[in-house]
Amino acid sequence: MRVDIVSIFPEYFAPLELSLIGKARAAGTLRLAVHDLRTWTHDVHRTVDDTPYGGGPGMVMRPEPWGEALDALAPPDAAPPRLLVPAPTGVRFTQAMAHELAAESHLLFACGRYEGIDQRVLDHAATRMPLTEVSLGDYVLFGGEVAVLVILEAVTRLLPGVLGNVGSLDEESHAHGLLEAPMYTKPATWRDLAVPEVLRSGDHGRIARWRRDEALTRTARRRPDMLAALDPESLDKRDVAA
């Protein structure tokens, strides 16, 4: 997968050298480039923002540098990338969207700052390439950079060959619409706290039942919205009893 990121703070993306994302880059699974928006400015001050038409606080990103950046990274004569614009006004980012993005061959992230990017940039880009404005949740960040780190981490771990144990993708929270059950490792007793007996029983049927019950209880307490959204067909008789 190819990924381009445009931002006025390229330094935000230094952590993408680390850990499994860094490995995916070294292996060529992820071809990632970070671009400074100011590359596409032409005045001595390398201006990227200005005051909003209609008044109000803050600054808006001017369209000219963004237009040139998108022309350079998504030339009209080449296969268009999927353009993602992180913003609190976007559609909610979910695990389902992470799977959708992991199937794309080229993602282009445009990181806005201040009060956002002039709307004409997005309207014009949308005539050339698929565009999604995406939000992490109901709170406001300074800009899209941290959101891109989050989205890229969620997407990269779904790329073939990035995770050592593919089974962990199947069992994890959100894979089946439920939160994951609690996990334990050695020692069997720590500070007088014992690992639940069932997990040490070796009885795989009982263990699966226990984990499912814990997942259901956790989801009911913490995320009643997720429980309500479950397909009733996916519940069995013993789930309903619990």
Which token pair is 110?
Answer: 């445009």
Q: Which is nearer to ligand 6GU, 10 or 143 (CB)?
A: 143
CB of 2 to ligand 6GU, least distance (A): 21
CB 98 within 8 A of CB 151: yes
* Window 44-83: contact mask with ligand 6GU (x via CB under 6 A): ----------------------------------------
Report phi then psi at 63, rounded to 5: -75, -30
CB of 107 to ligand 6GU, least distance (A): 14
The amino acid occupying position 75 is: P
Q: Does residue 143 interact with ligand 6GU by CB under 6 A?
A: yes
Please give the size of the binding site for ligand 6GU, defined by CB under 6 A: 13
Considering only residues 88 through 107, tell me which ones interact with ligand 6GU, judged by CB under 6 A. 88
20 carries a ligand binding annotation: no
DSSP states along 125-161: HHTTS-EEEEESSSS--SSSHHHHHHHHHHHHTTSTT
Q: Which of 147, 162, 179, 215 binds ligand 6GU (CB under 6 A)?
A: 147
Stretch touching ligand 6GU by CB under 6 A, among 7-15, 61-69, 128-136, 234-242 = 128-136
Q: Is 36 exposed, middle or buried (0-12, 13-18, 19+ CB in 10 A)?
A: middle
Which token pair is 242?
Answer: 């619990």
Report phi then psi at 11, rounded to 5: -65, -20
CB 109 within 8 A of CB 61: no
16 carries a ligand binding annotation: no
Q: Which residues contribute to the site for ligand 6GU (CB under 6 A)?
A: 86-88, 134-137, 139-141, 143-144, 147
Annotated binding residues for S-adenosyl-L-methionine = 112, 136-141
Q: Binding site: residue ranges? A: 112, 136-141
